[in-house]
Each structure stands twice: as C-alpha cells, then as structure tokens.
DNA sequence: CCTTAGCACTCTACGTACCGGAGTGCTAAA
DNA sequence: TTTAGCACTCCGGTACGTAGAGTGCTAAGG
C-alpha cells in the first residue's frame, strides 16, 4: 500500500539525512534543515505513522528515527531520484581507463578501485567468463622426465594451468606432437563436445593422462559459476561509522574474504536486467544482513560477462551507487566488446 | 654488555609472561608465578636495573613492566630457548600437505594458512622464483584478427601471459609457425642471452612485435625482485589485543596489503642463512615499527626460492615462531626440490 | 478534522568524583 | 645484599548529576 505523498516525502528526507550524517534524525532537525512548511509536531505524527508502517524505527525511546530495511526498500523502489553520472564524472572515470594498459585483468582491478573510491564502500567484480567454455589451444611443457605442465587457453582468453604426472618418461618432442594433435582434435570444442574415444582402441598412457587432465580442468572451470570476485575498498567500507567497534570490523573482514563473498553474492537478484539492489535482511546469509549489495551484470549479451557491484552498510547512497554501478558496468561491457571483438 | 645471570633470567620471565598474557608484569606476580626464591622487593630492584639498561619499560608509573624492543632483541639473541617442533607437531603440518594436490600455488597457500593458524599471526610467503629467469616455451593464440595472446612458460614453471596487438592481420597458422621458430631460437635462454638480430635484415612486423613483448615480459618478470607475497591470517593477527582500537586495525589493514608488504619485507636481514628476526623499530617503515618479522628463505640452494615468514606484534612467541618458520621453510624447500626435480 | 503549541518524560553522552587494586620507589633493618 | 614496610601513583570501574535532543500526549486553534 503506497504512502501518502507527504509521508513519502518525509521518509525520503529521513533516508537522505540519515545516509548523509549517520545520525538518527529528529522531527525538529528535519523541519529546520528542509524548511518544511510544517511544525515539528506534525512531522512527529507522520513519523509515528511511518513507524507503524514499519518504514522507520528508533534506536531508543528518545532518539531520532532511522530508516528500517523496509524503509530503504520503499525508498529505492519508489522514491529515489533516478540519476545518471554527469559528463564530468563520466570523464573522470573514463580517463583512468585510458591511462591503463590493454589488459583485461588490469581493467577489472581498475574498475573495482574506481568504484570503491567513488562510493567509499567495497567494490567487487568477478572475472568475465562465458557460460560455455571452449578450448582454444593447449600447450604441453616438459618439467621433469615424467611430469609436464598443461597450459590451456579457453575461449574467454583465460589461461589455465595444471601439472600432469605420467607413469612413463616423456620428451618435449613427443609432447609437442601430442599437443598439436589434441589441438586439432579438441580445439574450439566445449567439454561436452569432446569426441569420445573408441575404448577398444587403447590410448597411450600419456595421451590418456593429458585428456583426463584437460577434461577435468575444463569441467572445473565450467562448474565454478562465478569466480571469486576481485575486491577493492575493504578499508573504505570499514571506515564507515557502522563498523566502529573492532569486533564488528573483524567479523566483517571475515565476511568479505573473496571466497566467502563469491557464495554470498545474491546472483538470483540479477535475473532481470539492470541494476539490482539487495538490502539488509533480503540477504540470506547472516553476516550480510545489515549490509546492502548494488549489483549489475556486465558484458555483451551472449558474450563473456560477469558481475560488478558495491557492498556497504544499508545506510548507503543508493542513488549514486546505482548510477556508478550502471556506468562502470557499461564501460566494462564496452571494453570487453572491444577486447574480444565485435564478432564474438 | 651482557646481563648478570639473575637479571637475564628475570628479563626472560618478563618476556615470557608478557607474551603470554599481554599484561604488564609486576614484581609480586612474577615471584608468585615462578616460585623464585626471592622477594618482590629484590625483583623490583632488578627490574629498576633492567629499566636503566633499556630492556624494559613501564606504560605508566604504577604499572608492571613490559619488554622494550631492546629487551626483545636481547631475549631472542641470548635468552630464547632453541626449540624444534615436536614430531607430533611436524606430523600435523606434514599431514595437511599430503592432503593437498600437487600444485605449487596451492602448497604456498596451504603453507601460509598453516603458519597463520599455528602462530595466530599473519603469515606471508612469496612465490618461488629463480634469480635467472629462462624462457622454457612460448605459445601464441589468435584472439582477434590482429590480436594474439602470448603465453610464456618460464624455467621456474611460472606461466605468464600478455596480449599483443599487431599492425597487420595474422592467422593462427602463421602464429603457430612463428611460435615454433621462436621456441627453437629463444627456448632455454635468459633475456640477456637472447640473440641480437641483425638489424640490417628487417624482421616481419609480427615477429618484431612478439619479440618485443616477450623481452619486455621476461624483463619485468626478472626485475620484480620479489613478488607480492601470499598473505594469510590477517584476521588472526588483528585479533591480538594490541589491535584493540579500530583505527589501529584500519591502519594495519592498510599496511598489510600485499603490495605494500612486498616493499616492507626486510630482505636485507636475510643475508645470512637461517631464520631472521626483525623487531619493532628495526623496521625502516613506520607502520611496522611496533611489529616484528620472523623470516626465512626457502628453496634449494641455487634453485627457485622465496621468502616465508610471520608478521605480528612485537609481543610474539618468538621461539615458536622461529621453529615454525624454519620447519615450514624446510618443508617447502623439500616440496620444491621434488617439484622441479633434483637435477635442477 | 488536521495542525500546532506546550509540557512532562526519557534516554544518551559526558564530565566529575570516588574507590579498590596492583604496582612502584624508597628507607631502614636484618 | 636482601627484605619488610609504607607512602604514593595510576588505572579501571562504578555511581551520580546534568545538558541536550527527542518523543508522546493533550488540548487548543484554524
């Protein structure tokens, strides 16, 4: 049920003020700061109503109001002004990409830094990957007489490596020939498309070992839906007043380890296109229940892509966050398109 | 000038107690806890003397004593009991390595985790590298019509990649032939040994671009004396009481970023073989001046190697730290010897 | 019926005061 | 040289009082 216009306006002001100051906002302060044509008493009545509707709460009896998770949700869904970055802001960001070298990993790291610095919160970006992983080319390098390094380049330009132990000695010549043969046979294929060998015709032990390693490597690669994300700005985020106590910092520090974060990213919120916002207890996992994600997919439709987003306390500048995430996602999409070529 | 035996004994007890409890230790507590055949007054006299010699201090007038950096230095140099890990401890650690797969990077990460968990402090390990980087094999993979991925495997089994843009279109066939040719020509050589081309005979633009990229890549690789280390246990360390205030945590968090840490590792202390201890203000850089490093090199003599160590507050179990670092360093050395083969 | 002035009440943050405990430094005697 | 004794110091915790910000309610006014 929608709020009355005045009530909604007051909610928006409470959110704005609280996001800015991190202090509970009182009726009188609100009236003065925004020159409302109302008395503080009226605002108090509205606040009481907003509290009944679950949009705001008190930390304690005689404190000002702070938005509840529900209030934030209402705010971002109905009240928040849409805003795009100004040309000036866009330029500042683009400029940094032009400074960097043409390297995908570097771009990802840079994008994360940019986001983190602008939003004073944690930025996370997963490496771009294709849904379908195709083998592009493999290489075999002798390390010891019975061990080799398998290097596989996949269609998303990822380079993967693994050592293989053979039951028999091998030489580089042999490996090079084998690599050429396997490239011809498996190149350009997904694991699912790998030709099944006629089992009656026994493979050489070496060949079998390489194929096994290759298959396993690509399967593992494909299985990992999302890589552990690149994370920047942990410190920026922890500087926010909500992390004032050190035990809170330590717990959060734990929660934003790349590996834990990978599983915590609420990917289901990204079913629809556009920027998704996941607030507080909309997160399933405990440690993130008073934080919010602002997430978007990046990458050309059907091509290699990943997730870019911001994680911070629920008290967050959602409008700016959305604008920044959207813009950075667009920039990354464009860079990837360039990198992999239009044709892909 | 050496301390009298009794005075040294008292210093050792102060260090031990303080390391254990993080509380300043008073004369009476010391006497009671260790059943010294002395009165607290005598101990107080000795403490006053130790303070004159700069070995201990007070936080304030009526507090117990804590070791100064100088006191720790004396302790580790002259008083600390040498200790090796018990067979039981050794087994616990070795066991974890046997669980892991045969992958060098994984070993490094595992070793760091083990160290961090046992010592409740930060563990850091640099990737193993050779002083001399030799090209083992290179591979060229077409990405776009005028862009390729250069993958170079170096003699320390490192896999390095870089994209190359060509002024002209290329095909995979051409790249494969070129790669084979360059492998024959440059394989097994260091950058310094790369044959200089006769400049009068012009290279193809493609070949020139690849050689330039390869040279640059190996040079960069060689130039970085130490990689940014793998770091584990940040949270373990920050849990120590010396990091009780949140601003201290944030500052430290900053100081232990991989990149900053790389430059802060006091490598010069590792000139002599064995385990090096760098205490407090023996560190040049500010943020580490109330922390200590316990470091060792690992890797077979003349072979690929790196640095393994612990970073924590100066109040640290130095004896255990040394024993653990030494043992893990030995284990890593053994693993590397196995991995690269004895012959190397 | 909505708005608002007025007022009693509540809770926090902060500063002051106070006290017990642990520890020191000094002195004088053993 | 060691030690008992004692006065002194400082921290940490608790209690208390106060100022400030804010609330909720009531009753009067438009």
> If pLDDT is split at 50, 70 and 90, which confidence band does A113 have?
very high
Q: CB–CB of A163 and B243 under 8 A? A: no
- What is the band of A343 on the pLDDT scale with cuts at 50, 70, 90? very low
- Among A122-126, A197-201, B3-7, the range scoring the smallest mean pLDDT is A197-201
Q: How far is the CA of B28 from the C1' of C20 (A)?
A: 18
Q: CB of A294 within 8 A of CB of A316?
A: yes
Show Cβ contacts of residue A340 under 8 Å, excluding neighbours closer than 6 positions: A156, A157, A303, A304, B143, B144
For range B32-46, the mean pLDDT:
92
Distance in Å, residue A44 CA to nucleotide C7 C1': 15
pLDDT at residue number A66: 97
Token representation of residue B51: 């303070």
Residues 18-77 of B with CB under 7 A from strand C: 24-29, 40-41, 44, 47-48, 51, 58, 61-65
pLDDT tens-place string over residues B324-340 = 999 999 999 999 888 77
pLDDT at B226: 66
For residues B173-188, average pLDDT: 91
Over residues A134-181, the pLDDT tens digits come to: 899 999 999 888 889 999 998 878 888 888 989 999 999 999 999 999
Give, as ranges, the nucleotides of chain C with any atom within 7 Å of a protein CB. 3-6, 9-12, 21-27
Q: Give me the pLDDT at residue B199, please.
A: 59
**Within 13 A of B76's CA, how many CA atoms are on the CB side?**
26
Contact B165 A102 (CB under 8 A): yes
Q: Is the CB of residue A255 less than 8 Å from the CB of residue A288?
A: yes
pLDDT average, residue stretch B241-245 = 90
DSSP assignment, residue B3? Answer: P
Q: How confident is the model at residue B152 (pLDDT cuts 50, 70, 90)?
A: very high
CA distance A291 to chain B (A): 19
- Min Cα separation A107/chain B (Å): 13
pLDDT of A38-68, one tens digit each? 899 999 999 999 999 999 999 988 899 999 9
User: Could you tell me which residues come within 8 angstroms of residue A212 by beta carbon, excluding any fewer than 6 positions away?
Assistant: none
What pLDDT does B344 receive?
42
| Alpha-carbon span B103 to B92, nearest angstrom | 20
| Helices A87-99 + A318-340 axis angle, to 10 | 40
Cβ contact, residue pair A141, B153, below 8 Å: yes
Give the residue-averaged pLDDT of B249-255.
Answer: 91
- Give the pLDDT band (50/70/90) at residue B343: very low
The C1' atom of C28 and the CA atom of B47 lie apart, in whole Å, by 21
Tell me the shortest Cα–Cα distance from A15 to chain B, in angstroms.
27
pLDDT-based confidence at residue A89 (cuts at 50, 70, 90): very high
Please judge whether A249 and B254 are an interchain contact, meaning their C-beta atoms are less than 8 angstroms apart. no
d(CA B115, CA B135): 33
Mean pLDDT on A297-306? 86
**Closest Cα to residue B332, out of B292, B290, B293, B304?**
B304
More confident residue, A279 or B154: A279
How far is Cα B192 from Cα B83, in angstroms, rounded to an integer? 44
Cross-chain residue pair A137–B141, CB shorter than 8 Å: yes
- For residue B102, which residues of chain A lie inside 8 Å, CB to CB? 163, 165
CB-based burial label for A40 (10 Å; 0-12, 13-18, 19+): middle
- Contact between chains at B250 and A235 (C-beta distance less than 8 A): yes
- Closest by Cα among B37, B65, B39 to B51: B65
**The most confident of A195-199, A256-260, B310-314, by mean pLDDT:** B310-314
Average pLDDT, rounded, for chain A:
90
Q: Which residues in chain B are closer than 8 Å to A141, comparing Cβ atoms?
A: 136-137, 153
CA distance B104 to B115: 17
Could you say which residues 302-321 of protein chain A have a Cβ atom less than 7 A away from any atom in strand C? none
Residue of B137, B231, B336 to mutate, interface with A, max A Cβ within 10 Å: B137
Q: Which residues contact A161 (CB under 8 A, 6 or more apart)?
A: A149, A150, A151, A152, B159
What integer pLDDT is reported at residue A24 of this predicted model? Answer: 96
Q: Mean pLDDT score of chain B, rounded to an integer?
A: 90
Token reading at B188: 């097994």
pTM of the model: 0.83
The whole-number average pLDDT for the span B309-315 is: 97
Angle, CA of A256, A226 and B258, to the nearest 5°: 45
**Closest of A33, A36, A17, A35 to residue A25, by C-alpha:** A17
A4 CB and strand C closer than 7 A: no
**Nearest Cβ partner for A235 among B141, B253, B343:** B253
Q: How confident is the model at residue A202 (pLDDT cuts 50, 70, 90)?
A: low
Interface contact A143-B341, CB threshold 8 A: yes
Averaged over A95-100, what is the pLDDT?
Answer: 88
Query: What is the reported pLDDT for B342?
Result: 54
Residue A59 contacts by C-beta under 8 Å, 6 or more apart in sequence?
A24, A66
Q: What are phi and psi of A56, to 5 degrees?
A: -140, 165
Q: Is the pLDDT of residue A201 over 90?
A: no
Question: In A, which residues are within 8 Å of B161 by CB distance?
Answer: 159
Sequence-separated (6 or more) residues with CB below 8 Å from residue A251: A287
The answer to whether the Cβ–Cβ distance between A253 and B238 falls below 8 Å is: yes
Establish, for the pair of chains A and B, how many residue pairs have beta carbons separated by less than 8 Å: 89
């Amino acid at each position: 049920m929608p709020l009355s216009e005045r009530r909604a306006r007051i909610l928006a002001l409470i959110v704005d003020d609280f996001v800015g100051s991190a202090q509970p906002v009182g009726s009188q302060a609100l009236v003065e700061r925004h020159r409302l044509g109302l008395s503080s008493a009226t605002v108090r009545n509205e606040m009481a109503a907003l509290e009944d509707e679950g949009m705001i709460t008190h930390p304690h009896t005689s404190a000002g109001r702070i938005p509840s998770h529900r209030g934030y949700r209402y705010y971002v869904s109905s009240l928040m002004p849409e805003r795009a970055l100004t040309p000036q802001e866009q330029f500042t960001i683009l400029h940094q990409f032009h400074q960097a070298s043409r390297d995908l990993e570097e771009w990802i790291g840079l994008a994360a830094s940019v986001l983190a610095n602008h939003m004073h919160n944690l930025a996370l970006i997963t490496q771009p990957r294709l849904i379908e992983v195709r083998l592009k080319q493999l290489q075999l390098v002798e390390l010891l007489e019975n061990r080799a390094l398998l290097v596989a380049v996949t269609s998303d330009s990822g380079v993967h490596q693994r050592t293989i132990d053979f039951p028999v000695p091998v030489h580089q010549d042999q490996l090079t020939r084998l690599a050429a043969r396997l490239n011809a046979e498996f190149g350009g294929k997904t694991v699912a498309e790998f030709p099944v060998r006629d089992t009656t015709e026994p493979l050489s032990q070496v060949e079998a070992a390489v194929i096994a390693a290759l298959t396993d490597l690509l399967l593992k690669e494909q299985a990992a839906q999302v890589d552990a994300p690149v994370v920047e700005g942990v410190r920026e985020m922890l500087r926010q007043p909500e992390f004032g106590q050190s035990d809170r910092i330590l717990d959060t520090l734990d929660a934003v380890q790349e590996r834990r974060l990978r599983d915590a990213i609420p990917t289901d919120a990204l079913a629809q296109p556009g920027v998704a916002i996941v607030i507080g207890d909309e997160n399933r996992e405990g440690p993130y229940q008073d934080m919010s994600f602002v997430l978007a997919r990046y990458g050309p439709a059907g091509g290699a892509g990943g997730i870019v987003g911001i994680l911070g306390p629920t008290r967050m500048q959602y409008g700016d966050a959305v604008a920044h995430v959207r813009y950075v996602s667009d920039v990354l999409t464009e860079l990837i398109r360039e990198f992999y070529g239009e044709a892909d």
